[in-house]
Amino acid sequence: MPEPALSRIDAVTGPVHVALIMDGNGRWAEGRGLPRAAGHREGVQALKRTVRGAADLGIRCLTVFGFSTENWKRPAEEVSDLMGLVRAYVGSDLDRLKREGVRIHILGRRQGLPDDIAAIVDRAEQQTAHNDRFLLQVAFNYGGRADITDAVNRLVHQARQRGEGAPDITEEDIGAALSTNRGPPVDLIIRTSGEQRLSNFLLWEAAYAEMVFQDILWPDYGPAALTEAVEEYHRRDRRFGGRAPTPQMAVS
């Protein structure tokens, strides 16, 4: 069935930056009597559809949770399959992403990655560095707590290099030191498969993001489901800790 026509998002009301926890690959495969690897492969196709749909909607930045620091605990065969998907995705889609003005930024720790995966990550970033139409951030070997810890350690190390003692670290300093510092603030976080938790994803950046949980399994995801999440976002009243004025306050 063809995807419905999409309307662009108002640049003022956004969301400009959407983050996605792509959940449900394993359950999608198990429900069809297939190995989990088949679910991961279909999940890559869902990612391709969703990146195209996000750009068409007017979203300027999409951050997706590809592989967490905790995922190393999974069976070795599944970890190997996930690494293979990185090779396949970059190998099959990098040229198209370059042509379409997509800039790729990988979040997370580079230490511990297989050498060829680290090289693929570096190549994808370097070859798309000058693109400015759309920012695709892939959280790979990423954890929100680890990213905050790394940011603070980096700030302390920089202070010591300057010959300073214990630095007076501000929220702005931490935000600038996180691996997500190239993107705009996160407006909307979506999790698929019906689960309702962040699972150590964008813990700092989620402070005032809206959250939408959808029952669809990730391999079935695409522009239509993304549009539904954005429509729910527009029904929210974002106050950032403040309060909408009452009629009496508005008059006085």
Which amino acids are annotated catalytic?
A: 23, 71
CA distance readout (Å), 171 to 145, 163, 165: 15, 22, 19
Q: Which two tokens stand for residue 120?
A: 């693929």
Cα(224)–Cα(29) distance, rounded to whole angstroms? Answer: 21
Tally of residues, the chain: 252
Cα(218)–Cα(26) distance, rounded to whole angstroms? Answer: 9
H-helix or E-strand containing 18? strand 17-21
179 near 48, Cβ under 8 Å?
no
**C-alpha triplet 50, 54, 60: angle, nearest 5°:** 140
Cα(174)–Cα(163) distance, rounded to whole angstroms? Answer: 20
224 near 170, Cβ under 8 Å?
no
| Residue that is written with structure tokens 């069976």 in the block | 75
Nearest to 4 by CA among 191, 222, 214: 222
Q: Which residues contact 20 (CB under 8 A, 6 or more apart)?
A: 50, 62, 63, 64, 65, 189, 190, 191, 192
In one-letter notation, the amino acid at residue 61 is: C
